[in-house]
Every structure is written in C-alpha cells, then in structure tokens.
Copies of this chain bind each other. A is one copy, B any other.
C-alpha cells in the first residue's frame, strides 16, 4: 500500500467529533487490513492516529472489538459497492467488471480479508459472521438481479450461492499461492467457472436453462460461449 493511503495526521490537529471518529476508523481499517485482528492492539490504533488511549475509548467504549466490528461494517459497505454494476450490456462483461473491483479489494486488504474469512480468530463472533453473511447475501441478490431472477428456485439459487463461496475460496487460495496465477487470468477463470456451473445446472433445471439462453442472447455475436 502506498504511503498516501495512511490515515491522516498528528494529534494536535483539531478535529470535529465526526472527523475524529472517521480518522480513528480509517486508522483501524488500515491496521486490520494488514494484520490479523490478534496482531492489532488498541495502543497501535492510538499511536498510529497520534492520540491517547483514553481518547480512543471515548469514541469506542467497547474498545478493540468495537473498532474491529466498525471497521468490518465499513469493509462490508466497500465490498457491496464493488458489486454495483449497471444492468445493461453483455453479462460476461458486467461480471468481469465486478470481479475486477472485488479482486482489487482482496488484493489490497489481504491480511484482514484472510483472517476474517479463515475463521478461528478471537475477534470473530456471531456478529462478525453475520456481517460477512450479509455481504454474501448482497452479492447473491445483485447477481440474481442481473440474471433477471430476483426470486429464483432452489437450484439456481444454490448455483449462485455456491459460486459466490467458490470465488471467496479462490481469492483466499490465490493469496495463499503468492498471488498466482495473475489477477486477469484468475478473473477470467472465475467468470468461466460461473458460466460452466450455470450450464451444468441448466441440464437439470428449466429456469436455469432459460437464464443461460437469455444470457447468450445478450452477448455480442461471435464471442466465446
């Protein structure tokens, strides 16, 4: 991460309540993105923000866990933003754009992303799990809207939910594999994976077969199947 993304300045700056809260959150987000939650202390946050420990507590009386969860809410929002894509144009290109943004997020928040999704962290609770589940649900809903099937049957829904988990798993594996293969190849592989899973599902589900047909019609002539 480049240095200009470090959280803003020294303690003596006068900040409004909102600004100070935002500064502490930015600091926490920066720290939690680059280390597992166990390796971040409230003192780290205070030091890096250039403020005292009691000041951090004044804004976040729940201490580190509260900061972690607030950070997670921010990250969840950023992830949801990744999924927003105009509902026009070839479906393959739309999926490619969304995955580009998602994978850039993974790339940038590697440590925190890994710790969160791998589980077993002491900072993990049913609350943090439900934030993560909310992001998965939002991804599934967005994808189903693009397929013009906001209320799918069980087979299409299962295909979409399974693929979303597969994307998440592949992202973790990619980080674990020293970021191999290159990001554009990973992205195209994930897109192809989705189309292949839909094709397999279409063999036993009329609704999915209809979705596959409608998608093919929206691709430019002569493009890959």
Which residues of A are in contact with B by a Cβ distance under 8 Å?
Answer: 118-122, 124-130, 154-155, 157-158, 161-163, 165-166, 169-170, 173-174, 177, 180-181, 185, 188-189, 192-193, 196-197, 199-201, 203-204
In the complex, what distance in Å separates the CA atom of A185 from the CA atom of B200? 12
In the complex, what distance in Å separates the CA atom of A121 from the CA atom of B126? 6
**Which of A125, A177, A180, A189 has the most chain B CB atoms closer than 10 A to its own CB?**
A189
B203 and A192 contacting across the interface, CB-CB below 8 Å: yes
Q: In the assembled complex, which residues on chain B have CB atoms less than 8 Å from the CB atom of A126?
A: 120-121
Listed by A's residue number, 17 A-B pairs whose Cβ atoms lie within 8 Å are A118-B129, A119-B119, A120-B124, A120-B129, A122-B125, A154-B177, A154-B181, A157-B177, A158-B174, A158-B177, A158-B181, A162-B166, A162-B169, A162-B173, A166-B169, A193-B200, A197-B197
Q: In the assembled complex, which residues on chain B have CB atoms less than 8 Å from the CB atom of A200?
A: 189, 192-193, 196
Q: How many copies does the complex hold?
A: 2
A112 to chain B, nearest CB (A): 15
A182 to chain B, nearest CB (A): 11
Q: Is the interface of A mostly helix, strand, loop or mixed?
A: helix
Known: A120-B129, A166-B166. 11 other contacts (CB 8 A): A119-B129, A120-B128, A124-B124, A154-B181, A155-B181, A165-B165, A165-B169, A166-B169, A189-B201, A192-B203, A193-B197
Task: Using CB atoms, name the residue of chain B closest to A169.
Answer: B165
Q: In the assembled complex, which residues on chain B have CB atoms less than 8 Å from the CB atom of A124?
A: 119-120, 124
Task: Using CB atoms, name the residue of chain B closest to A198.
Answer: B196
**Which of A122, A130, A193, A204 has the most chain B CB atoms closer than 10 A to its own CB?**
A193
Task: Using CB atoms, name the residue of chain B closest to A131.
Answer: B120
In the complex, what distance in Å separates the CA atom of A47 from the CA atom of B191? 53
In the complex, what distance in Å separates the CA atom of A165 from the CA atom of B158? 14
Q: In the assembled complex, which residues on chain B have CB atoms less than 8 Å from the CB atom of A181?
A: 154-155, 158, 204
